Structure 1
Amino acid sequence: MKWQKILNEIRQEIQPELGNGKVANYIPALSEADPKAFGMAVVTTDGEIFTAGNATEPFSIQSISKVLTLTLALGFENENLFERVGREPSGSAFNSIVQLEQEGGIPRNPFINAGAIVVTDTIITHCNRQSGADLILDLARKLSCSGRVRVDDEVARSEALWGNRNRSLAYFMKSFGVLKNDPEEVLQAYFCQCALEMTCTELARAGLYLANDGVDPVSGEQVATHAHVNRINALMMTCGHYDMSGDFAFHVGLPGKSGVGGGILAIVPGVCAVAVWSPALNKAGNSLAGTLALELFSEKTSLNLF
Structure 2
Amino acid sequence: MKEMQKEILSYLEKIIEEEKRLARKGEIPDYIEEVDNNDHGAVTVSLTSIDGTTVRAGDYEGRFSLQSISKLFPLALALMDHGSEEVFKYTGKAPTGNVYHSLIQMEMQEREKPLNPMVNSGAIVMCGLMKGENADKKVDRILALARDLTGNQELTYNEKVYEAEDQDLNRSLFYYNRHNGYIKGEFEDVMPVYWKMTAIEVTIEELSNMAAVIANHGVCVHSGKQIITKDVVTTLKAFMITCGMYDESGSFALEVGIPAKSGVSGSIVAAIPGKLGIGVMGPDLNKYSNSIAGIRMLKKISDKWKLSIFSEDRSS
Measure, in 2, the Cα distance between the counterparts of 1:17 and 1:28. Answer: 18
Encode CA deviations 1:129-185: one digit per residue, 9 max, x unaligned.
75211211121112211134220000100111xx10000010011011110111232
Aligned to 1:229: 233
The answer on 1:258 being equivalent to 2:262 is: yes
Counterpart mapping for 1:48-197 below 5 A: 48-79=53-84, 80-103=86-109, 104-123=111-130, 126-128=131-133, 131-160=137-166, 163-197=167-201
Measure, in 1, the Cα distance between the counterparts of 2:241 and 2:276. Answer: 16
Compute the displacement of 1:226 (Å). Answer: 2.1
My pick for the range that moved more, 149-158 or 136-145, is 136-145
Instruction: Find the residue that maps to 1:43 and give its secondary structure.
Output: strand
Counterpart mapping for 1:206-245 below 5 A: 206-245=210-249
Compute the displacement of 1:32 (Å). Answer: 5.8
1:43–1:205 CA contact under 8 A, matched in 2: yes
1:174–1:183 CA contact under 8 A, matched in 2: no
The one-letter amino acid paired with 1:69 is P
Instruction: Find the residue that maps to 1:17 and give its secondary structure.
Output: coil
1:29–1:158 CA contact under 8 A, matched in 2: no
The answer on 1:7 being equivalent to 2:8 is: no
Aligned to 1:37: 42
My pick for the range that moved more, 296-305 or 22-31, is 22-31
Counterpart mapping for 1:280-299 below 5 A: 280-299=284-303
1:29–1:155 CA contact under 8 A, matched in 2: no
The answer on 1:20 being equivalent to 2:25 is: yes
Measure, in 1, the Cα distance between the counterparts of 2:231 and 2:150. Answer: 22
1:95–1:165 CA contact under 8 A, matched in 2: yes
Measure, in 1, the Cα distance between the counterparts of 2:253 and 2:141. Answer: 31
Give 5+ residue unaligned stretches, structure 1. Answer: none
Measure, in 2, the Cα distance between the counterparts of 1:93 and 1:14. Answer: 26
User: Could you state the TM-score of these two structures normalised by the residue count of structure 2?
Assistant: 0.91
- Equivalenced residues, count: 302
Compute the displacement of 1:68 (Å). Answer: 2.1
Compute the displacement of 1:56 (Å). Answer: 2.4
Cα 1:28–1:276, aligned 2, differ >3 Å: closer, same or farther?
closer
Instruction: Find the residue that maps to 2:48 and give its secondary structure.
Output: strand
Aligned to 2:314: none
The one-letter amino acid paired with 2:161 is V
Measure, in 1, the Cα distance between the counterparts of 2:116 and 2:72. Answer: 12
The one-letter amino acid paired with 2:189 is E
The one-letter amino acid paired with 1:7 is L
Cα 1:274–1:168, aligned 2, differ >3 Å: closer, same or farther?
same
Give 5+ residue unaligned stretches, structure 2. Answer: 311-316
Compute the displacement of 1:105 (Å). Answer: 3.3
Compute the displacement of 1:96 (Å). Answer: 0.6
- Return the match for 1:271 from 257, 275, 280: 275
Supply the RMSD in Å over aligned alpha carbons: 1.6
Aligned to 2:205: 201
Instruction: Find the residue that maps to 2:40 and give its secondary structure.
Output: coil
Measure, in 1, the Cα distance between the counterparts of 2:62 and 2:242. Answer: 29
Measure, in 2, the Cα distance between the counterparts of 1:75 and 1:175. Answer: 26
Compute the displacement of 1:39 (Å). Answer: 1.0
1:23–1:31 CA contact under 8 A, matched in 2: no
Compute the displacement of 1:59 (Å). Answer: 0.5
Measure, in 2, the Cα distance between the counterparts of 1:143 and 1:211. Answer: 12
Compute the displacement of 1:13 (Å). Answer: 2.4
Encode CA deviations 1:239-282: one digit per residue, 9 max, x unaligned.
00111011111111100000000000001111110000110000
Compute the displacement of 1:12 (Å). Answer: 2.5
